[in-house]
């Protein structure tokens, strides 16, 4: 078996996330406490008891998802002797890349929490409500999506934002441009073009103000070499240079999340198992739409961590 850890992005949050991990594992509770301290906010209480509307706010969801992922990793290490070096690679979907970097020792936990709080605020503030939009093109090939986005660009900003899986691609940009691209996709025979209920048009050029905020913030943060290579969103290739990892986090704000290619790369390098620490199973479920050669493991409950540890130790 060859392993990679994959870290989920926004959309995986749910009220109750992390509660079982914190109750079962002191190491996980320590992570949640440290994130609360770093943010000066009772984020863990919001995660476990709050309103979903508040948890879903980008500035809360991003550090919450990271905290849950890192808590699962710390519990694996403390309780079962498994750390990130058991894997050949680590990768994260959008904000999940920060979780991967934290788990791999590139960025400290409290710095990661502060960066994600700021990232969420900056991304939300970059575009006024109603200006931007995103749409999922279901059944579209990468070529279909690029052609649809090109049609949208005749009106305004429109880009491929997320290449998530085979037949699951998301476009992002100005509302009228994305609507035109969605119509173009439908006209070319794409199975379904669906506008998404998002609060901002992520991963497109409209996020340039947020990219500048993150560039300024990251400049003062120390990055270390990762314990394992990070297959990052910008390159879909393994990166170990801390300077490049930092620069690519800035590019990632306006750039495409190349998730399908990242997973395909890891599979081509002999990875057989992908473990998703944190909450939910969004990435694990998505694997089936990318390749049949990988086994996914969701690591979001004490029982799941125990079963995974037994599986890993054979």
Q: Which of 99, 203, 262, 297 is catalytic?
A: 203
Query: Helices 109-125 and 26-39 meet at what angle, rounded to 10?
Result: 50
Query: Three-class SS of residue 281?
Result: coil
Cite the DSSP H helix spans in the chain.
19-24, 26-39, 43-49, 52-56, 58-80, 96-103, 109-125, 142-152, 175-187, 208-218, 242-254, 259-268, 282-286, 302-313
Question: CA-CA distances (angstroms) from residue 107 to 100, 189, 287?
Answer: 9, 44, 27
Q: What secondary structure letter does DSSP report for 160?
A: E
d(CA 147, CA 34): 46
Q: How far apart are CA 16 and CA 37, in angstroms?
A: 20
- Catalytic residue check, 93: no
Decide: helix, strand or coil at residue 183. Answer: helix
Could you confirm whether 94 is annotated as catalytic? yes
Catalytic residue among 94, 99, 172, 262: 94
The CA-based angle 33-114-242, given to 5 degrees, is: 115
Catalytic machinery residues = 94, 203
């Amino acid at each position: 078996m060859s392993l990679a850890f994959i870290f989920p992005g926004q959309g995986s949050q749910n009220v109750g996330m992390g509660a079982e991990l914190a109750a079962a594992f002191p190491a996980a509770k320590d992570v949640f406490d440290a994130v609360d301290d770093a943010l000066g906010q009772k984020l863990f209480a919001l995660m476990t008891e709050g309103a979903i509307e508040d948890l879903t706010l980008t500035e809360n969801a991003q550090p919450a998802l990271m905290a849950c992922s890192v808590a699962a990793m710390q519990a694996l290490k403390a309780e079962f002797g498994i750390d990130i070096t058991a894997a050949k690679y680590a990768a994260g979907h959008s904000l999940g890349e920060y979780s991967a970097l934290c788990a791999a020792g590139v960025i400290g936990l409290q710095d990661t929490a502060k960066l994600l709080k700021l990232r969420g605020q900056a991304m939300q503030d970059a575009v006024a409500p109603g200006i931007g939009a995103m749409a999922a093109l279901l059944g579209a090939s990468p070529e279909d999506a690029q052609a649809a986005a090109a049609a949208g660009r005749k009106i305004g900003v429109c880009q491929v934002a997320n290449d998530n899986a085979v037949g699951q691609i998301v476009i992002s940009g100005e509302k009228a441009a994305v609507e035109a691209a969605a119509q173009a996709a439908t006209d070319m025979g794409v199975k379904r073009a669906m506008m998404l209920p998002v609060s901002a048009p992520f991963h497109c050029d409209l996020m340039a103000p947020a990219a500048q905020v993150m560039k300024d913030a990251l400049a003062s943060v120390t990055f270390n070499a990762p314990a394992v290579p990070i297959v990052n969103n910008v390159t879909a290739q393994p990166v170990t240079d801390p300077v490049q990892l930092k620069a690519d986090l800035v590019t990632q704000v306006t750039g495409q999340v190349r998730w399908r290619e990242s997973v395909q790369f890891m599979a081509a390098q002999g990875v057989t198992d992908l473990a998703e620490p944190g909450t939910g199973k969004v990435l694990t479920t998505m694997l089936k739409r990318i390749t049949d050669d990988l086994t996914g493991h969701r690591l979001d409950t004490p029982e799941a961590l125990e079963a995974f540890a037994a599986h890993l130790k054979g």
